[in-house]
C-alpha cells in the first residue's frame, strides 16, 4: 500500500513539474512574440514620424496630410520658449488650414533635421503615446510628444505637442 502511495505521489509530482515547465515555455514564447510585435509597431511609428517630418520640411502638403488622422478632436500645439510664442490648433480642419497656409506662405523647403531612430513608445492596442527629442538647424532643440492611432493598419498622428527650446539649451 505504501509503495502505491509513493508511486502515485511521484506521478503527481512529475505531471506537476511537466505542467509548470510547459506553462513557463508558453509564457516565454508569449513574451518573445510581444517583444517582436512591439519592435514592429515601434519601427512603423518611427517611419510615420519621419515621413511626416520629411513631408513638412520639404513642403509636400499631400505627403504631410496622409500622415494625420482627419478628426475634429485632434490637436496640434507649439510651445516656443525661444521666442515666447504659443499656438494651438484643434480639429483636423483647423490643423489642415494652418499647415496648408504655412506651406503656401513659406514654399521653400527647410533643411531636414536628423530623422529620429530612438523614441519612447507606450502602446495601447490601436494607440500609442510617443516622446522624443529632435534638433533642427532653424529652431534648435525640440521635444516632441505625439499621440498616434492605427487607422486601417497604418499609424497616423492624432495629436502633437512640440516644445521648442532653441539653441541655448540644445548643447
Share of the chain above pLDDT 90, in %: 73
**Inter-residue contact 110 to 139 (CB < 8 Å):** no
CA angle 150, 129, 121 (to 5 degrees): 95
CB neighbours of 83 closer than 8 A, spacing ≥ 6?
A: 166
Per-residue pLDDT tens digits for 66-118: 999 999 999 999 999 989 999 999 999 999 999 999 999 999 999 999 999 98
Decide: pTM greater than 0.85: no
| The three grid cell numbers given for residue 61, joined into one nine-digit string | 502638403
Fold of the 9-166 domain = Nuclear Transport Factor 2; Chain: A, (3.10.450)
Cα(60)–Cα(63) distance, rounded to whole angstroms?
A: 5
Torsion sign over Cα 69, 75, 80, 83: positive
Cα(132)–Cα(54) distance, rounded to whole angstroms?
A: 16
Domain boundaries, the chain: 9-166
Amino acid at each position: 500500500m505504501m509503495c502505491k502511495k509513493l508511486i502515485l505521489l511521484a506521478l503527481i509530482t512529475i505531471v506537476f513539474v511537466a505542467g509548470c515547465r510547459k506553462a513557463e515555455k508558453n509564457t516565454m514564447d508569449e513574451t518573445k512574440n510581444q517583444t517582436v510585435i512591439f519592435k514592429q509597431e515601434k519601427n512603423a511609428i518611427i517611419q510615420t514620424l519621419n515621413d511626416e517630418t520629411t513631408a513638412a520640411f520639404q513642403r509636400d502638403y499631400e505627403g504631410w496630410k496622409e500622415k494625420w488622422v482627419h478628426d475634429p478632436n485632434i490637436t496640434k500645439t507649439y510651445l516656443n520658449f525661444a521666442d515666447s510664442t504659443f499656438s494651438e490648433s484643434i480639429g483636423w480642419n483647423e490643423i489642415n488650414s494652418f499647415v496648408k497656409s504655412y506651406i503656401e506662405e513659406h514654399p521653400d523647403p527647410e533643411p531636414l533635421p536628423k530623422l529620429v531612430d530612438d523614441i519612447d513608445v507606450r502602446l495601447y492596442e490601436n494607440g500609442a503615446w510617443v516622446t522624443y527629442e529632435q534638433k533642427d538647424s532653424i529652431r534648435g532643440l525640440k521635444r516632441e510628444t505625439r499621440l498616434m492611432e492605427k487607422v486601417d493598419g497604418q499609424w497616423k498622428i492624432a495629436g502633437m505637442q512640440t516644445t521648442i527650446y532653441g539653441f541655448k539649451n540644445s548643447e
